[in-house]
């Protein structure tokens, strides 16, 4: 029976599993943790679709335009067209699967979100990801019982073998038994973003270690746009991570300010009168970076939600309020909350075609680990959409190929990373890949990591450093400012760089080239 | 602040458990049991309270903000999430960490909670038709979708044991969500399973009431779902 392997059981993995199962194709759903523990459950604000239920004459064309503009025209037009065209159907199907989106008489209500002038974001308070995951987990259970989805929970990717440009096998470790299994057959990678390269500094989960990405890169899988890292403007530091304050808080009326000459300065409203606090995330984070360094400004940037109505708190943001009270001991309905930008999303990742094929035959990728829809900056509400649509597209492409899966117990000696090296890698990457970058800092970071590579370190640490170096070299080579990549030494956008930064590890070295965003060259 | 973190440990290959203590110092008043475990494991060389080299502590975590349920364990005798257990709020400097007891222990603080998911499959908990979410049912569907499947409610339940016929509170939110979104005719099969695996075995101790890390109103879910079960039973009898 045709069988496809899926690594990762978050939103894109479940979407792929359901798509395969509905076509009668079996899958092995391999994940380090059950779906309930995946990063997708953290997604808060909502999912975009031009459903036009709010009487604003919204269209999929406008969703397409906003996504292209938000991503600074660095994404493939055809891919974004697919994404935005399918969005209304995707959200409708999720509603039919029982996601309790806020609705009235069966009409899904939509909220404002960043970078979009019209209400286009379907939501369930500020726990939309959790609600969507719960519904999809229940749906996948039906196919588990039918034998079409075979889960391998507590299993993580340990190795991948590629020969002649084709995937040969993957090896996974059963983390409970410390035993290894090899799987042949087509494989969809849904392993999420590279949070583990920035431990403690992201809004994501500890499970997204970045190890899978490092293994794949080392094996010859092409990556793209690694320099594009989204700093979400409104996060707060809690123990060992950044906690997100959903963009929905600003969508519902929250305002950013800083004290300037002892007066509250609502800088986003003054500088960007059209979209105000709802400018795309890269713009807001950068403005926060600059205003907090102005001599006439003092203290932190605050998010003021005290003007939100009781109705909004009760029906749209009650969970966010509870969370802020629990972790910050501040009631946001009563007091403004100090916020600062934190790493939230990786626009770059495994380079895929519109059909989510990688440069390796038999290997596909979807969700945050893949680079496809979000260009230089992802719009809020498009990540879950990209994950669901990407999972569907990858599954559709994977099932077209013959794929017999053989599973065997195997012996394998796994490499582990050291806390010390992980810490140096994190600090070095933060030094080079901050909100504002320049050649000097990037070169310093590149030199540090190159030096680290010459030390006696584990194989896994070496792979992780190589991928980190690839991200730094990508940022160094992109001599312009676009979206989340801002270079103080090249502050303007340059048309010559309307291209993907493609990196590949080949013959022991990182190869870097620029490829037109719409090109399917070598994929 | 200086804490002694006393952990009930177990090697993968062995059955016996043993206690090992670690000294954890922090000036972070918001530090949690999860931060203590992360920070201890981040030390280049981990030593126990007696200064002897120690193996890294195995435990599960993911979101670190009460949204995923991975880090459920017994903290000072109470099942709860490590990311929600603020050390400074515990009013003491020696804190014990143990794995959940109702599930097989894999190693250290990791318990194999697979039975949670197997039970949901046994109950055939999935939609039998497209969901219809009425305005009235929206909040109930939302609340029941919040369940983390962490297992804390089963740990505290006097009636639940892994492998038994009674599946406990963890099966209720999924049942409630599905029944709130389907017609009575479509949820008949689920109701049968609920009667067998939840209703019949629940001793109504309501020990689960205050233990849920998400503060799900477990009593409300039970009342709601039990009422639907009775309505269905009565209507079947009348027919």
Facing residues of B6 across strands?
B21, B96
What's the CA angle centered on A138, arms A134 and A142, to 5 degrees? 165
Averaging pLDDT over each range in A89-98, A235-244, A510-519, which range is the top one?
Answer: A89-98
User: Which of A17, A36, A153 would best serve as a mutation to test chain B binding (most B beta carbons within 10 A)?
Assistant: A36
> Which tokens go with A431?
């030094």
Q: Give residues with Cβ within 8 angstroms of A304, minimum separation 6.
A: A254, A255, A256, A257, A264, A336
Contact A45, A123 (CB under 8 A): yes
Q: What is the pLDDT of residue B237?
A: 72
Q: What is the pLDDT of residue B238?
A: 64
Chain B residue numbers with beta carbons less than 8 Å from the beta carbon of A176 are 106, 110, 112
Q: Do A33 and B62 touch (CB under 8 A)?
A: yes
Alpha-carbon distance A97 to nearest alpha carbon in chain B (angstroms) = 6
Alpha-carbon distance B238 to nearest alpha carbon in chain A (angstroms) = 30
pLDDT at A521 over 70: no
pLDDT in tens, A37-88: 999 999 999 999 999 999 999 999 999 999 999 999 999 999 999 999 999 9
Minimal Cβ distance to A96: which of B61, B121, B131: B131
Q: Do B30 and A327 touch (CB under 8 A)?
A: yes
Q: What is the pLDDT of residue B95?
A: 98
pLDDT at A114 over 80: yes
Minimal Cβ distance to B126: which of A139, A418, A419: A139
The DSSP secondary-structure symbol of A39 reads G
> Which tokens go with B212?
């849920």
Contact A288, A301 (CB under 8 A): yes
| Cα A234 from Cα A249, distance rounded (Å) | 9
Q: Where are the domains of chain A?
A: 232-342
| Cα A39 from Cα A129, distance rounded (Å) | 9
Rounded to whole angstroms, what are the CA distances from A289 to A62, A298, A303, B155?
30, 13, 15, 47
Angle, helix A211-218 to helix A459-477, in steps of 10 degrees: 80
| Cα A441 from Cα A434, distance rounded (Å) | 10
Minimal Cβ distance to A240: which of B34, B120, B121: B34
Helix (H) or strand (E) holding B35: helix B33-42
pLDDT at A240 over 90: no
Alpha helices in B160-217 (DSSP H): 172-180, 188-194
Q: Do B68 and A41 touch (CB under 8 A)?
A: yes
Active site residue A482: no
Alpha-carbon distance B67 to nearest alpha carbon in chain A (angstroms) = 7
Q: Do B126 and A141 touch (CB under 8 A)?
A: yes
pLDDT in tens, B52-65: 999 999 999 999 99
Alpha helices in A242-364 (DSSP H): 248-251, 267-271, 281-291, 310-315, 318-328
Chain A residue numbers with beta carbons less than 8 Å from the beta carbon of B174 are 138
* Positive/negative CA dihedral, A273, A276, A281, A283: positive
Q: What is the pLDDT of residue A51?
A: 98
Helix (H) or strand (E) holding A5: strand A3-7
Minimal Cβ distance to A98: which of B41, B110, B177: B177
The DSSP secondary-structure symbol of A360 reads S
CATH of domain A232-342: 3.90.700.10
Contact A429, A470 (CB under 8 A): no
Q: What is the pLDDT of residue B146?
A: 97
Contacts 24+ apart (CB under 8 A), B22-28: B22/B46, B22/B48, B22/B49, B22/B54, B22/B57, B23/B49, B25/B1, B26/B1, B26/B87, B27/B1, B28/A239
Alpha-carbon distance A486 to nearest alpha carbon in chain B (angstroms) = 29
Q: What is the pLDDT of residue A523?
A: 61
Q: Do A131 and B147 touch (CB under 8 A)?
A: no
Chain A residue numbers with beta carbons less than 8 Å from the beta carbon of B126 are 138-139, 141-142, 145
Q: What pTM does this model have? A: 0.97
Q: Do A36 and B68 touch (CB under 8 A)?
A: yes
| Cα B78 from Cα B211, distance rounded (Å) | 9
Q: What is the pLDDT of residue A518?
A: 78
pLDDT in tens, A297-307: 999 999 999 99
Alpha-carbon distance B24 to nearest alpha carbon in chain A (angstroms) = 15
Q: Ramachandran region of residue A240, left (φ > 0), alpha (ψ -120 to 50) or beta?
A: left
User: Which of A33, A41, A240, A321 would best serve as a mutation to test chain B binding (most B beta carbons within 10 A)?
Assistant: A240
The DSSP secondary-structure symbol of B57 reads P
Q: Quick one: pLDDT band at residue A1, thresholds 50, 70, 90?
A: confident
Chain A, nearest residue to B69 by Cα: A37
Mean pLDDT score of chain B = 95
A3-32 average pLDDT score: 98
Q: Quick one: pLDDT band at residue A517, thresholds 50, 70, 90?
A: confident
Which domains does chain B show, CATH number per domain? 2-111 (3.10.20.30), 114-238 (1.10.1060.10)
Q: Do B110 and A326 touch (CB under 8 A)?
A: no
Chain B residue numbers with beta carbons less than 8 Å from the beta carbon of A135 are 131, 145
| Cα A211 from Cα B166, distance rounded (Å) | 40
Within 10 A of B177 (CB to CB), how many other CB atoms are there?
A: 31
Q: Do A130 and B30 touch (CB under 8 A)?
A: no
Q: What is the pLDDT of residue A201?
A: 94
- Considering only CA atoms, which of A63, A50, A13 is closest in space to residue A379? A63
Q: Do B60 and A104 touch (CB under 8 A)?
A: no
Mean pLDDT score of chain A = 96
Q: What is the pLDDT of residue B236?
A: 76
pLDDT in tens, A362-382: 999 999 999 999 999 999 999
pLDDT digit of tens for each residue in chain B (239 aa)?
999 999 999 999 898 999 999 999 999 988 999 999 999 999 989 999 999 999 999 999 999 999 999 999 999 999 999 999 999 999 999 999 999 999 999 999 999 999 999 999 999 999 999 999 999 999 999 999 999 999 999 999 999 999 999 999 999 999 999 999 999 999 999 999 999 999 999 998 989 989 999 999 999 999 999 999 999 888 877 66
pLDDT in tens, A314-352: 999 999 999 999 888 899 999 999 999 999 999 999 999
Q: What are the percentages of helix, strand and coil residues in chain B, rounded to 5? A: 35, 15, 45
Among the listed residues A281, A286, A422, A487, the single catalytic one is: A281
pLDDT at A522 over 90: no
- What length does chain B have? 239
pLDDT at A461 over 90: yes
Q: Give residues with Cβ within 8 angstroms of A523, minimum separation 6.
A: A222, A351, A352, A353, A357, A358, A359
| Cα A159 from Cα A463, distance rounded (Å) | 12
């Amino acid at each position: 029976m045709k069988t496809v392997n899926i690594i990762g059981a978050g939103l894109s993995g479940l979407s792929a599993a359901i798509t395969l199962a509905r076509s009668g194709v079996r899958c092995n759903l391999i994940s380090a943790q059950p779906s309930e523990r995946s990063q997708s459950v953290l997604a808060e604000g909502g999912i975009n679709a031009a459903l036009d239920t709010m009487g604003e004459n919204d269209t999929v064309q406008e969703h397409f335009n906003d996504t292209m503009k938000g991503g600074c025209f660095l994404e493939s037009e055809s891919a974004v067209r697919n994404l935005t065209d399918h969005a209304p159907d995707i959200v409708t199907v999720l509603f039919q699967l029982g996601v309790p989106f806020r609705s009235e008489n069966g009409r899904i209500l939509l909220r404002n979100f960043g970078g979009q002038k019209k209400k286009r974001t379907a939501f369930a308070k500020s726990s939309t990801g959790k609600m969507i995951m719960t519904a999809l987990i229940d749906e996948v259970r039906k196919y588990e019982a039918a034998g079409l989805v075979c889960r391998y929970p507590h299993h993580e990717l340990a190795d991948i073998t590629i020969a002649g440009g084709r995937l040969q096998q993957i090896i996974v470790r059963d983390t409970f038994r410390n035993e290894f299994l090899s799987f042949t057959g087509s494989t969809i990678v849904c392993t999420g973003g590279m949070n583990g390269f920035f431990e403690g500094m992201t809004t994501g989960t500890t499970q997204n270690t970045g190890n899978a990405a490092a293994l794949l890169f080392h094996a010859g899988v092409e990556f793209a746009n690694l320099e594009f890292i989204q700093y979400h403007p409104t996060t707060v530091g809690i123990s060992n991570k950044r906690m997100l304050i959903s963009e929905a808080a600003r969508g519902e009326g929250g305002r950013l300010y800083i004290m300037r000459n002892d007066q509250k300065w609502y800088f986003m409203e003054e500088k960007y009168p059209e979209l105000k606090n709802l400018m795309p995330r890269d713009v807001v984070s950068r403005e926060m970076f600059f205003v907090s360094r102005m001599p006439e400004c003092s203290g932190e940037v605050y998010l003021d939600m005290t003007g939100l109505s009781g109705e909004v708190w009760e029906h749209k943001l009650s969970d966010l309020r509870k969370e802020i009270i629990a972790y910050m001991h501040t009631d946001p309905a009563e007091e403004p909350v100090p916020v600062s930008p934190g790493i939230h999303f990786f626009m770059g990742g495994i380079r895929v075609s519109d059909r989510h094929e990688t440069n390796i035959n038999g290997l596909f990728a979807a969700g945050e680990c893949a680079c496809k829809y979000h260009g230089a900056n992802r719009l809020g509400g498009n990540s879950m959409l990209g994950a669901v649509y990407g999972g569907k597209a990858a599954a559709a492409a994977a099932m077209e190929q013959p794929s017999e899966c053989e599973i065997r117990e195997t012996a394998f000696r796994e490499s582990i990373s050291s806390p010390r090296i992980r810490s140096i890698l994190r600090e070095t990457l933060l030094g080079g890949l901050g909100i504002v970058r320049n050649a000097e800092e990037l070169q310093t970071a590149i030199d540090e990591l190159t030096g680290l590579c010459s030390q006696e370190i584990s194989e896994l640490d070496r792979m992780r450093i190589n991928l980190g170096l690839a991200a730094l070299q990508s940022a160094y080579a992109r001599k312009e400012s676009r979206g989340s990549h801002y270079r103080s030494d090249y502050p303007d956008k340059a048309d010559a760089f309307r291209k993907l930064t493609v990196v590949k590890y080949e013959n022991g070295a990182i190869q870097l080239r620029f490829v037109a965003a719409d090109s399917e060259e070598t994929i | 602040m200086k804490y002694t973190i006393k952990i009930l440990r177990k090697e993968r290959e062995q059955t016996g458990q043993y206690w090992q203590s670690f000294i954890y110092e922090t000036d972070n008043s918001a530090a949690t049991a999860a931060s203590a475990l992360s920070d201890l494991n981040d030390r280049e060389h981990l030593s126990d309270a007696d200064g002897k080299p120690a193996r890294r502590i195995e435990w599960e975590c993911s979101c670190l903000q009460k949204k995923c349920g991975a880090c459920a364990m017994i903290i000072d005798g109470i099942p709860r999430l490590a990311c929600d257990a603020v050390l400074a709020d515990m009013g003491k400097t020696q804190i014990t960490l143990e794995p959940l007891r109702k599930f097989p222990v894999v190693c250290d603080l990791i318990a194999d909670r697979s039975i949670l998911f197997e039970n949901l499959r046994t109950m055939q908990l999935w939609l039998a038709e497209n969901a219809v979410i009425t305005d009235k049912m929206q909040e109930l569907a939302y609340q029941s979708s919040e369940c983390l499947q962490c297992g804390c409610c089963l740990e505290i339940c006097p009636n639940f044991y892994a492998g038994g016929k009674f599946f406990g509170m963890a099966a209720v939110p999924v049942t409630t969500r599905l029944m709130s979104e389907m017609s009575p005719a479509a949820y008949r099969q689920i109701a049968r399973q609920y009667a067998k695996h939840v209703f019949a075995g629940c001793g109504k101790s309501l020990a689960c009431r205050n233990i849920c890390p998400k503060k799900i109103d477990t009593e409300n879910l039970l009342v709601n779902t039990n009422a639907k079960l009775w309505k269905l039973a009565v209507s079947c009898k009348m027919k």
